[in-house]
């Protein structure tokens, strides 16, 4: 190779390789102006006077590389800006998801408390019902015992049995409520009802003088009081349990809605993070392309692309031509090293 970078051939030089205008192919082979890989078969020998000088070709290549580097830098900045914006959006979505999950966990814990209280109240309802049934059983037993005692104690001589007096009193009460009576008739009816009540009360007082009947009456009253108290407790506890149940259901409905919102935010977060990752990879690719271009620019100014290149022997023209004739691929750096060796 001569000082001006042209191959030594009788009146011919290879056509200018537009290798510095691109990054080369994926396997390192140089690309032509049309983007195709340059191989030895694509070289043709042209008259030396048709080839521009090495200085002009290098200046054009450097200018194109500078322009391409600026484009790559601009593209890298755009990808970085988009990546940063997407990452900021992802952080906002993550914070929103965290807030929703915190609220979800709080509502879920509150719903669990309602469920726990409801279950406790339901257990108390079951116990109150058991006690009520026991009181009703004792009430019935005391009532049956009292009736048996009354039947076993005959009324005083000439007195009407209490059961018959009660029956007559009920009939008069029904007649008083359903019949149209004159004032005199109503007065007489009311007087008869009062007489029957007095007779019943006198016989009850007579029965109460019997210690066994008095004890049975006290058992009856106690059983009735207990049954009424347990019945009231069943109703109150059942209402409280129902209120706790309704509160639990309302909270679980809110939990389901929050879970739906969290799933939506999570899906959006995954989408945004995926886009951010793509933008980051594009940014890195653009940066690497810039670095490769800067290596070629450095080499075109007489420098070395890397430390390893300084340890290698300068490229020789004979080796370069032999590789081209064999159809092997050549890289941009090979061409630049050959060019530097020609200037040296």
pLDDT truncated to tens, each residue of the chain (344 aa)?
Answer: 334 433 333 333 333 333 333 334 444 444 443 444 434 333 343 344 444 455 567 677 788 888 888 999 999 999 999 999 999 999 999 999 999 999 999 999 999 999 999 999 999 999 999 999 999 999 999 888 888 877 776 666 667 777 788 888 888 888 888 888 888 888 888 998 898 888 888 877 777 777 887 888 888 899 999 999 999 999 999 999 999 999 999 999 999 999 999 999 999 999 999 999 999 999 999 999 989 888 888 887 765 444 433 344 444 545 555 555 555 555 556 656 655 554 44
Mapped onto helix, strand or coil, the DSSP state of residue 47 is strand
Buried b (16+ CB within 10 A) or exposed e, 181-200: eeeeeeeebeeebeebeebb
Residues 30, 85 share a domain: yes
- Kindly write down the DSSP assignment for every residue of 141-196, as one continuous string: HHHHHHHHHHHHSPPSTTPPPHHHHHHHHHHHHHHHHHS---HHHHHHHHHHHHHH
Pair 137, 235 in one domain: yes
Number of domains, the chain: 2
d(CA 43, CA 195): 141
Q: What is this structure's pTM?
A: 0.51
Residue 5 lies in a domain: no
Residue 3 falls inside a structural domain: no
Please report whether residue 317 resides in a domain. Answer: yes
Residues 74, 155, single domain; the answer is: no
pLDDT at 40: 36
Contact 38, 31 (CB under 8 A): yes
Q: Are residues 33 and 61 in the same domain?
A: yes
Quick one: 279 and 232 in the same domain? no
In a domain? residue 149: yes
- Do both 286 and 230 map to the same domain? no
The predicted structure's pLDDT at residue 55: 54
Element (DSSP H or E) covering residue 14: strand 12-14
Instruction: Answer yes or no: do 255 and 275 share one domain.
Output: no
pLDDT for the residue numbered 327: 55
Q: Report which of 196, 187, 189 is spatially closest to residue 163, judged by C-alpha positions.
A: 196
Q: Of the candidates 259, 284, 319, which is a domain's last residue? A: 259
Q: Is residue 142 part of a domain?
A: yes
Looking at the structure, do residues 150 and 171 belong to the same domain, yes or no? yes
Within a domain: 118: no
On whether both 188 and 226 belong to a single domain, the answer is yes
* Domain assignment of residue 264, yes or no: no
Whether 103 maps to a domain, the answer reads: no
Query: CA-CA distances (angstroms) from residue 203 to 41, 142, 165, 248, 309?
Result: 138, 19, 10, 58, 131
Q: How many CA atoms lie within 13 A of 323 on its CB side?
A: 16
Domain span including residue 277: 12-95+271-343
245 and 321, same domain (yes or no): no
Task: Pick the last residue of a domain from 259, 287, 320.
Answer: 259
133 and 242 inside one domain: yes
Q: Are residues 194 and 246 in the same domain?
A: yes
**Residue that is last in its domain, among 211, 226, 259:** 259
């Amino acid at each position: 190779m001569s000082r001006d970078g042209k191959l030594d051939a009788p009146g011919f030089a290879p056509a200018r390789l537009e290798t510095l205008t691109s990054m080369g192919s994926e396997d390192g082979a140089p690309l032509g102006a049309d983007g195709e890989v340059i191989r030895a078969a694509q070289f043709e020998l042209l008259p030396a006077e048709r080839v521009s000088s090495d200085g002009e070709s290098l200046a054009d290549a450097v200018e194109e590389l500078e322009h391409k580097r600026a484009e790559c830098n601009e593209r890298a900045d755009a990808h970085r800006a988009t990546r940063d914006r997407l990452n900021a959006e992802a952080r906002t979505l993550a914070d929103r998801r965290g807030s929703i999950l915190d609220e979800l966990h709080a509502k879920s814990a509150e719903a669990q408390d309602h469920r726990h209280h409801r279950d406790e109240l339901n257990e108390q309802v079951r116990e109150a019902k058991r006690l009520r049934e026991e009181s009703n059983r004792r009430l019935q037993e005391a009532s049956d015992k009292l009736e048996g005692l009354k039947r076993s104690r005959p009324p005083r001589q000439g007195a009407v049995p209490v059961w018959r007096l009660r029956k007559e009193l009920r009939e008069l009460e029904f007649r008083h409520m359903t019949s149209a009576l004159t004032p005199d008739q109503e007065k007489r009816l009311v007087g008869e009802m009062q007489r029957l009540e007095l007779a019943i009360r006198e016989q009850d007082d007579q029965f109460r003088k019997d210690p066994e009947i008095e004890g049975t009456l006290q058992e009856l009253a106690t059983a009735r009081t207990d049954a009424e108290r347990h019945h009231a407790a069943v109703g109150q506890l059942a209402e409280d349990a129902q209120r706790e149940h309704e509160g639990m259901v309302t909270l679980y409905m809110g939990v389901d809605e929050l879970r739906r919102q969290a799933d939506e935010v999570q899906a959006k977060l995954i989408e945004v993070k995926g886009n951010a990752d793509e933008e980051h990879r594009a940014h890195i690719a653009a940066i690497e392309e810039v670095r490769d271009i800067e290596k070629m620019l450095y080499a075109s100014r007489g420098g070395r692309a890397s430390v390893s290149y300084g340890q290698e022997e300068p490229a020789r023209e004979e080796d370069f031509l032999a590789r081209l004739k064999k159809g092997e691929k050549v890289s941009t750096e090979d061409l630049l090293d050959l060019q530097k060796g020609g200037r040296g």
